[in-house]
Structures are given as C-alpha cells and as structure tokens.
Amino acid sequence: MPIVDAFDCSIKYTQIMDADGKIDAALFPKDLDDDKVKQMYIYMCFARALDAKTLSLQRQGRAATFAPLVGEEATQIGVAFGMSEGDILVPSFRQHGILLARGMPLDSYFIYWRGFEEGNKTLKDIGSFPVAVPVGTQMPHGAGAAFAQKYLGTGKAVFAFIGDGGTSEGDFYEAINFAGALGLPLVSVVENNQWAISLPRSRQTAAKTLAQKGIAAGINSVQVDGNDVVAVYKAAKEAAALAREGKPSLIECVTYRMSMHTTSDDPTKYRSGAEVEEWKAKDPISRVRKYLEGKGLWNDSMEKEMAEKQSHDIDEAVAKAEAFKPDPKSIFENLYSFMPQTLKEEEDSALASGFWM
Amino acid sequence: MNVNMVSAINNALALSMEKDDKIVLLGEDIGKDGGVFRVTDGLLDKFGEKRVVDTPLSESGIIGASIGMAASGLRPVPEMQFAGFMFLAFSQLINHATRMRSRTRGSMKVPMVVRTPVSGGVKTLEHHSESPEEYYSHMGGLIVVEPSNPYDAKGLLMRALKMDDPVMFLEPTKLYRLFKQDVPDGPYEIDIGKASYVQKGDAMTIVTYGTMVPVVKNAVEKHGVSADIIDLRTINPIDEATILESAKKTGKVMIVHEASLSFGVGAEISARVAEKAMFELSAPIIRVAAPSLPYPMPGYENYYVPNEKKVESAIDRLLSS
C-alpha cells in the first residue's frame, strides 16, 4: 500500500505596509481610502496616549494594576476598523485600544482601571463583553456569543482576542473547535506579542506558528504582521465576511509587547534590551506616519493638534472618572436578579457599621 | 400524569421550550441519544437541531459558550453529562458565571440552567457519583437547586427557566427512576429559595435534600420518631427562615446529606442554627454525611453513602442527648 498525504496544510504570512511605510499596491485593500488610513493612525496614537496616561496614573497610585498595550496598536486598531458596526467584541485584558476605537467612553475606562466594576457597565452599549482576566477563558464566551448571533440571525460577527500564551490554554482550543464544529461566526484574534509575562513565544509551544493551531480545529487560519495596520485590517475584514457565512477564522497578529506585562513586573529581568530595540524599528505607528507624510496627508502641525486634542480628552475623562464616587452597596446588589434574605442581612450589617471603616 | 423524575424534567423542558424560543439545550449526546440518562429524549425530534445541540466533548467550552450565549440574549440549558466531569468547567462557573452580572453592574446577565446528574448509589464508574452542591454554593452568584421528587423537579425547573440568574440544577441519579408521582400535565412553578416540609413532627428537625430525602423518610418511619423533615430543594440561597422556625420549635437539629461531612452544607446549616437559635436548642446539632473522603469505586459505595441505619442511630443519639 502506498503512503498518501492525509492532509496538507500551510500558513500564509501577510505584510502590506513595511516598517518604512512602503506598501504592496497589489495587496493594498481597495476599500481602504486615505481618510480611513488617517483615522486608523489617529486611533493608534490615541491608544498609545491613553496607555501612557494610565501608566502614569498607576505610578502615582491613581490607578490599579494595569496591562499596557504599547507596541500592539496596529493589531487592535486594524481589527477595530475591519469590524462592522454592531459586530461583537470579546476582549482579554489588554484591549483598550480596540475598545477605544469601538467607542468605549473614556471615563468608563478610567473608572475600570481605578478598580471599579461600574467602568464595565457601558461596554454592552458598544457591543463588547467585559475585560476577562483569567487567560483564555473569554474564548468560549466568544463562541457562545457567535452561537447567539447565528441563532438570532443578526448577521453579526464576533471578534475574540487572546494572547500568545493564551493559545496554550484548553479554553482556546475548546472555543475554536466549538466554532468550527458548529459553523459559528467567530473570528479569533491571537495578539501574539511574543511574551507571556516572562515566557518567550519560543518556549510557549513547539508549534512554528500559532495560526496553525486553528488548522487543528478545521478553521480558516492566517498569520499577519501585527504591526502593520493595513494587513491586520484586511485580514479582519476578510475573516468577518467568512464569519457571516458561518466560517470561523483565526488571525495570528505577530506583534511585540514593548512594555511590561503589567505594572507589577519588570521586563528587564527576563529579556534583552537589544530585542526591544529591534522591535522599536518595526514600530506600528511610525510606519503609518511615514506613509501619510509621503502622500502629503500629514504634517507636524496636524500631529501637534491631534496630540493636544487627545491629551485634553484624556484629562477630561480622568477628571470625570476621579469624581466617580463608588457605592459599596453595589457589590451586594448586583449579584442576583433578586436579593436573598441571608445576603440582605450581611449587607445590612455591613452598612449599619459603615463597613467597619 | 404519573411519572418518574426523568419524565418530569423532560416535560418541564418541553413545556418551557414551547413558550420561550430563546431556550437552547446543548451538551454531549443530548440529541439523537437523548442524553445518557434519556432526560432529553424526543426533544430533538420536537424542537430540531437548532435548539437541541449535540456538542463536541468540551465541558469548559460548553459552559463558557453558554455564558456567552446567555449574555447575548439566549437562555441556554447546558447538560453536563456527569457532575464529576463538570469540574473541567469549574473555572467558567466560578470565574465568570458567578460574576458576569456583578462585574457589569447588571448590564449583562447569565440566564442559564446547568443540568447535571449528581450523587451515587447506582454502581457506576469512578467520577459518576459526585455531590458537588457545596462547591457551587460557596462562592455566591450561582443558584443551586436539587429536587428530590418528580413534582418538585418539574416545578423548580420551570421556575429556573424563567430566572435571570445562572442556576445549577442538580438531578440525583438514584432518584431519576426510583419512584413515580402524580404531576400536573400543564405548567406550574415552585419558588426557588424555599424549602418544603416533607412531614411535620415535634421531637426533632431533620434537614436534608436530594438522595437522602427518601432515606431519612424511611428511617424516621421505621424509628417512629415524630420529626419535622425539611427538604431544602434549594441549597443556595438557603431557606434559613424555615430551618430556624423548625429548629426553635423542636430544639433538636440533625442535617443529613450524601456529600462528605467536612466543610459542607451541614456545616453551614449548623453554624446558622448555632448563631441564631443556640439557646433554644436542647441538644448539640448532629450531622450525618458520607465520610470526608472522595467517593470510592462502586464496590465500596455502600460503606460510604449514608443509609437508613446510620440515620436511625443518629436519631437515637439526638433523642438521648
């Protein structure tokens, strides 16, 4: 008996705009006009400014532990623009760039990072699930949300985010397998930033790409330059179209975490400065600026005006968020759709004694 | 109709699904096979593949997806094939089902009913006889219901299927087909969070639920003691008022459950009775439960699961103290 190929597969990698802002015109998406590229640039800058502000607030004790996104802006903004209005987002805990681009109120964002659940309250209005901290556990929610879209016939696609480390978790595979087996409109975005706290991508798995894990689940799987907003946008747009036909996808975005995992770790302990420098040269924002400047669509005064506006909006939101007065009753009163007598007694006792504070 | 618990649950699902097209059943082997205990038998034919979904083997995936479905406007009813396999989904239940409403301050809800067979006594393989009610009750955020007869099973399930909370609906395997009962054909609901008196008496209060209800009933009958027997029906939130009312009346309290003794539902009830009715008691509280060790293989289960004699001997002890 001859031995035959039971299955043959490969993973395609796409880059459309290189680190110098040069594009591959043949691959450049037809629907991506200058204005949209400019908008994407503005949002990437906004995400980075927001990130820097939150980090500074955390250092001053005005925000809780925080997971910065600097370096990963193209992945998040590219997906945001590839999504249609009404599509559903299932974030992990580092996706404030895409949340921002999807319309998250900034004051809610700061309330969340001050450590109050009230910051999550408005996310439903922009079609997003709340931040999910246990790594990978959000992925089955994405599959379920996709099931609901199919069941209800909404025509919406669901975009669920996970990191490189998360792809080693069982919930990641269970979710993509579920979506594949049931033909759900789920797009799984792997934001591969090369580091899972201190573990490098090379030690996370022996698999050559993370995208190939999608092949095991029988879903469309691609890899893109995650620092190239154009390539990410195109992949997201194509995946969304497939999702609406009941074909789930996985997009691995190859990017880099320029900063710490969270404010509680020091990356110099486990990775070299040379590696960080190498990635700095592939910055996702500067290449778009070069592209826009090359086309005469951007200049220093526009940059200055944008930065001032963003900084103003951020400061305004911080002030609003810092004026937010938490109500400790809310931790009791949102647990169930009703108040059990026994829990009411615990609440009454806490309130009567001023929470012993 | 005169039916067993399996039929009562099947009927509750069918009636609820007819009324609410957001209800979707999903799980392993629940469609064509009708579930390994045949609880969902015939529902695929009646409601189609869209609403009765055979899933891949994926406990965490099924519960996680159900959370996503529930937060997106559906009312999923995942079946976990056995309570022992459900621990793979523990993270989803504890990290997300309990918190989704609170972490979004009510803007997202998880109206979901997780059905699973629980407890032993039917000579099954390892991991098919767990009694996990205390794990799911401890954190807060999950409603935990465990019926002990067909009538309650139907009424509690129909109520659970209208709630906007995640409900763990624990079905004692041993009671699935143990006896039949007259159950109304049409829809009816039983309040969740409300215990019931199986019988009333004066000499002592016995609080129990699930597989131990018939065991306690028989033991009390054989012994001849006049006892209040309270069937919790809902473990969390606990019906403290009913327990205290009876405890204050009889002055003697025993708690009987199949789950192991330590850190369990019995401990919770003992503490509440001690905190709020200690000086109205005439004897120390007694717990009757399986020993504090994992459920053994079926050859040893008779040495593990509390039986009538163990309960009778506890009745003697309580009466003489």
Q: Give the type of residue at B236.
A: N
Q: Do the Cβ atoms of B107 and A178 come within 8 Å?
A: no
Structure token pair of residue A245: 């036909």
Domain assignment of residue A87, yes or no = yes
Burial class (CB within 10 angstroms; exposed 0-12, middle 13-18, buried 19+) of A127: buried
pLDDT tens, position by position, A145-160: 999 999 999 999 999 9
10-residue averages of pLDDT along chain B (321 residues): 98 98 98 97 98 98 98 98 96 98 97 98 94 97 98 98 98 98 98 98 98 98 98 98 98 98 98 98 98 97 98 98 86
Q: Do B141 and A174 touch (CB under 8 A)?
A: no
A298 lies in the same domain as A255: yes
**A355 and A216, same structural domain?**
no
- Whether A3 is in a domain gets the answer no
Closest to A77 measured CA to CA, from A51, A57, A95: A95
Cβ B107–A141 below 8 Å, yes or no? Answer: no
Nearest residue of B to residue A130, measured between CA atoms? B104
What number is the ipTM of this complex?
0.97
* Other beta carbons within 10 Å of B234: 26
Q: Is A6 within a domain?
A: no
Question: Are B153 and B179 within 8 A, CB to CB?
Answer: no
Residue A338 domain boundaries: 330-357
Q: Do B141 and A342 touch (CB under 8 A)?
A: no
Q: Assess whether A278 and A334 both reside in one domain.
A: no
Mutate to test the interface with A, among B103, B136, B145, B167 (most CBs of A within 10 A): B103
CA distance B15 to B183: 13
B61 to chain A: which residues are within 8 Å by CB? 140, 143, 171, 174-175, 177-178
Number of H helices, E strands in chain B: 12, 14
A163 in any annotated domain? yes
pLDDT at B67: 98
B103 → chain A, closest CA residue:
A117
Specify whether the CB–CB gap between A230 and A39 falls below 8 A. Answer: no
Identity of the residue in B56, B74, B91 whose CB atom sits nearest the CB atom of A148: B74
Would residue A2 count as lying in a domain? no
CB A279 within 8 A of CB A71: yes
Domain check: are A294 and A311 in the same one? yes
Rounded to whole angstroms, what are the CA distances from B213 to A344, B132, B156, B317?
29, 17, 16, 20
Whether B252 contacts B229, CB under 8 Å? no
Enumerate the H helices of chain B as residue ranges. Answer: 5-19, 43-47, 59-71, 90-91, 100-103, 133-138, 150-160, 212-223, 240-250, 265-277, 301-304, 308-320
Q: Do residues A229 and A344 share a domain?
A: no
Domain tally, chain A: 2
Asked if A182 and A302 sit in the same domain, the reply is yes
Same structural domain, A314 and A338: no
CATH number at residue A168: 3.40.50.970
- How many angstroms away from the CA of B55 is the closest CA of chain A? 7
Chain B CB contacts of A142 under 8 Å are 68
Catalytic residue list contains B128: yes
> How far is residue A267's CA from residue A352's CA, in Å, rounded to a whole number?
46
| CA of B316 vs chain A CAs: smallest distance (Å) | 32
Mark yes or no for CB contact A129/B108 under 8 Å: yes
Question: Hey, what domains does chain B have and what are their CATH numbers?
Answer: 2-182 (3.40.50.970), 196-320 (3.40.50.920)
Q: Which of B71, B101, B237 sits opposite A129 (nearest CB)?
A: B71
Residue A141 falls in the annotated catalytic set:
no
Q: How far is A147 from chain B (nearest CA, A)?
A: 7
Contact B96 A147 (CB under 8 A): no
* A190 membership: H or E segment, kind and range: strand A186-192
Task: Note the pLDDT of residue A114.
Answer: 95
Q: Are B39 and B118 in contact (CB under 8 A)?
A: no
In a domain, A8, yes or no: no
Q: Are residues A229 and A341 in the same domain?
A: no
Q: Provide the pLDDT for residue B112.
A: 98
pTM for this model (two decimals): 0.97
Query: Which residues in chain A touch residue B104, judged by CB atoms under 8 angstroms apart?
Result: 117, 120-121, 123-124, 130
Token representation of residue B136? 């799911």
Indicate the residue of A120, A141, A335 with minimum beta-carbon distance to B67.
A141
Distance from CA of A340 to the nearest CA of B (A): 6
Instruction: Answer whether B108 sits within 8 Å of A124, measured CB to CB.
Output: yes
Verify that A87 and A159 share a domain, yes or no: yes
The Cα B71–Cα A140 span in angstroms is 12
- Within 8 A of B56 by CB-CB distance, chain A residues are 174, 177-178, 181
| pLDDT values of chain A reduced to their tens digit, one per residue, 357 residues | 899 999 999 999 999 999 999 999 999 999 999 999 999 999 999 999 999 999 999 999 999 999 999 999 999 999 999 999 999 999 999 999 999 999 999 999 999 999 999 999 999 999 999 999 999 999 999 999 999 999 999 999 999 999 999 999 999 999 999 999 999 999 999 999 999 999 999 999 999 999 999 999 999 999 999 999 999 999 999 999 999 999 999 999 999 999 999 998 999 999 999 999 999 999 999 999 999 999 999 999 999 999 999 999 999 999 999 999 999 999 999 999 999 999 999 999 999 999 999
Instruction: Pick B67's closest partner by Cβ from A122, A144, A182.
Output: A144
Q: Which of A240, A247, A197, A257 is nearest to A219 (CA)?
A: A247
* Best A104, A336, A344 residue to mutate vs chain B (most B CBs within 10 Å): A336
Contact A103, A171 (CB under 8 A): no
Task: For residues A231 and A340, state if they share a domain.
Answer: no
Exactly one of A96, A141, A201, A261 is catalytic; which is it?
A261
Asked, for residue A5, whether it belongs to a domain, the answer is no
Q: Given an 8 Å threshold on Cβ–Cβ distance, is A177 in contact with B71?
A: no
**Residues A143, A260: one domain?**
yes
Q: How many CB pairs under 8 A join A and B?
A: 149
Asked if A253 and A340 sit in the same domain, the reply is: no
